Structure 1
Amino acid sequence: MAFIFKIIDNKDIESVIPLVEKLNNYQISYETLKRRFSEMIAQNNYECAVIYNGERLIGVSGLWYCTRHYSGRSVEPDHVYIDEAYRNKGLGKQFFNWIYNYVKEKGYEAVELNTYVSNAPSHKFYFNEGFKILGFHFLKKL
């Protein structure tokens, strides 16, 4: 299979919403995700990487850019999702290698991320990618 990895144009951002809905078990409405993605793009420190198999969108990862005192210029992959039919075939590794190369060329020196506590398969994947647990992610809804 010939997969295409690329940064999606901001005008096409709605095309990733069905995959992000699946990631969140449809607990966040399409309209809410549409509004949030619009706000995310407007912040100017976000890009969205995707995977296509031909014309079919099969994977997504947001990329948040920032500079942190402890890691320098860093990128945070977010809402990473690959269609179930394409998992466990090395595609996640290919996607992350593409992301590493892409952000390194942009001058970034670190990758850090969060993953849901309940998503054990992702934990194994990220450990295998060389990620280390640095801390805890806390959330308080206001």
Structure 2
Amino acid sequence: MSQENYECLGIYDSGKLMGICGLWFQTRHYAGKSMELDHVYIDDEYRSKGVGKKLMEYVTRYAAEKECNWVELNTYAHNFASHKFYYNQGFVAKGYHFVKEL
């Protein structure tokens, strides 16, 4: 994955991993250069303590430094808590992500 425009980001508290996410960089027809967050996870012990917000603030700055036009992500339709969190971080729902398993 590291050879496919992928980076992995962790957020730590005195050496203990609190959260992690993948960062995919690509150029989209509809957005230009973008960063897609993947597998965003904050350990249960650190949820609702501002860790996710700090992670999103860092990711946004990092994407701007990499000259991305936007940050995007997917979240499961039934994960309402994540929807609320991402809306609060300034994300907007632009559409649906469809998949077909083979």
Shorter-chain TM range is over 0.9
Q: Tell me how far apart the structure 2 counterparts of residues 54 and 116 of structure 1 sit (CA, whole Å).
A: 31
Specify the SS of the correspondent of 1:94: helix
Aligned-CA RMSD value: 1.0
Amino acid at match of 2:63: V
Calculate percent identity across the aligned residue pairs.
53
Whichever of the two has the greater Rg, that structure is: 1
Structure number with the higher helix fraction is: 1
Q: For 1:1-142, list aligned pairs within 5 A.
A: 40-43=1-4, 45-142=5-102
Q: TM-score, normalised by structure 1?
A: 0.68
> Over residues 27-80 of structure 1, what are the superposed CA-to-partner deviations in whole Å (9 max), with x where a residue is unaligned?
xxxxxxxxxxxxx2232x110111111111110010011111111110001100
- List gaps (5 residues or longer) in structure 2: none
Structure number with the higher strand fraction is: 2
- List gaps (5 residues or longer) in structure 1: 1-39
Q: Tell me how far apart the structure 1 counterparts of residues 19 and 89 of structure 2 sit (CA, whole Å).
A: 18
Specify the SS of the correspondent of 2:55: helix
- Number of residue pairs matched by the alignment: 102
Q: Tell me how far apart the structure 2 counterparts of residues 116 and 103 of structure 1 sit (CA, whole Å).
A: 23
Amino acid at match of 1:113: L
Q: TM-score, normalised by structure 2?
A: 0.94
